A = this chain, B = another copy of it.
Amino acid sequence: MSKVTEDVQTKQTVQERLEEQLRAVAHIGHVEIGVTKFEDSLWFYTDVLGLVLSEKEEGRAYLRAWQDFDHYTLVLQESEKSEVNRMSWRVASEEALDLFEKYLKDTGIDVERIEAGQKKALGDTLHFKSPSGLPIELYWEKELFETDDPQLKSKLPSHPSKSHLKGVSPRRFDHVNIMVNDVKQEQEWWTDLLGIHHRYFVQNKEDERLGSWLSKTNIAHEVAFMRNANQNGAAFHHLAYFLDSPDELVRAANIMAENGIEIEWGPGKHGTSGAQFIYVFEPSGHRVELWTGGFLIFSPDWKPIEWKSDVGELGMEMWGSNPPETYYTYGVDIGE
């Protein structure tokens, strides 16, 4: 007798199992950040990083990489302090949004439903917070990017806009990373509640969790949590865009150097993911990662890779460079 047959012996169980199956996140969608130097940051994201400006309003800009199919993957909001305001994930179906709302409420989590039309290009969304206070958003509907601008429109149907127009010109939005006090607790909540798979983690000599990387899709991670060395709560560590090759990463580093943008660390290579990286600080103080390579994870029963302390340094950087002190201590605030 198969597991299904067993389960379906009571209607309740079958429905619960079905709801569990349907209550699924699809992928990370975008991140909203507050920036103190709006125009300077906008210059960085468009001219230096080479993102496409989808739309601009007073004190607000919507941006995307050339092959992000969505209307935007990054929102800049002029702000009194640099902070992260929202990390948004698409759910797997319209049904999933309702199921999450119900489930979150049942679980005792304070969830707010924002109706379609309130947020640019989005249908209904759910707002709620993780144990560390991270502002999460779930949505089902989001407009795709479309343009008739001949400077921007590609003749290739696979290109929502032309590639390589200026600056670094990354291919797509990749992930976010947040420092928290308790990595293990945060990771387990995301995995248990949202079904975001745990991919790999690093332990220190005291067998404390230094970092955990998670994804729902096949990419190595869409969200990561790293231990805040200050132990003073959560802080936004970085957002990341993806490049096609190590060579493009080197080109990106050159462009940063030519434009006076500080490279905090890199080029280096994370042993954990196998991705090559640079980290830079944009004018408002956000850390931005450009990265390339890394593995994809296809296994449906993936066992998180443990990086014990004896190889933890290789995990952080396998070529031998050490992260600067700031890498473990500096982040921007988590917005209200």
Contact = CB atoms under 8 A, between A and B. Distances in A.
Interface of A: 2-4, 7-8, 11, 14-15, 17-19, 21-22, 26-27, 67, 69, 90-95, 98-99, 154-159, 162-164, 166, 171-172, 200, 217-219, 244-248, 250-251, 253-258, 260, 262-264, 266-269, 271-274, 276, 278, 292-293, 295-296, 298-301, 305-307, 311, 314-315, 318-321
Contacts of A306: 157
Contact of A269 (B253, B264, B298, B311): B253
Interface centre among A17, A21, A246, A264 (most CB of B within 10 A): A246
B158 A272 contact: yes
| A interface majority secondary structure | mixed
A4 B18 contact: yes
Nearest to A95: B3
Given A164-B254, A262-B320, A69 B299 contact: yes
Given A98-B2, A276-B250, A298-B217, A166 B163 contact: no
A195 B298 CA distance: 16
Query: What 10 A-B pairs have minimum CB-CB distances, sorted nearest first?
Result: A247-B247, A245-B245, A246-B250, A27-B298, A21-B21, A26-B300, A18-B18, A218-B218, A263-B320, A162-B258
A157 B22 contact: no
12 contacts: A8-B11, A11-B14, A27-B300, A156-B311, A157-B307, A158-B274, A163-B258, A164-B251, A218-B296, A219-B296, A246-B247, A254-B318
Nearest to A262: B320
Given A155-B311, A258-B163, A4 B21 contact: no
A142 to B, nearest CB: 9
A262 B27 CA distance: 38
Given A11-B14, A95-B4, A306-B157, A321 B321 contact: yes
A192 B248 CA distance: 39
Contacts of A27: 298-300
Contact of A166 (B18, B21, B166, B298): B166
B319 A90 contact: no
Contact of A15 (B4, B21, B91, B260): B4
A276 B91 CA distance: 31
Contacts of A245: 244-247, 292-293
A258 to B, nearest CB: 5
A182 to B, nearest CB: 23
A298 B26 contact: yes
A124 to B, nearest CB: 13
Nearest to A248: B247
B219 A158 contact: no
Contact of A267 (B171, B200, B267): B267
B164 A258 contact: yes
A156 B250 CA distance: 17
A289 to B, nearest CB: 15
A188 B36 CA distance: 52
Nearest to A243: B245
Nearest to A215: B218
A317 B4 CA distance: 47
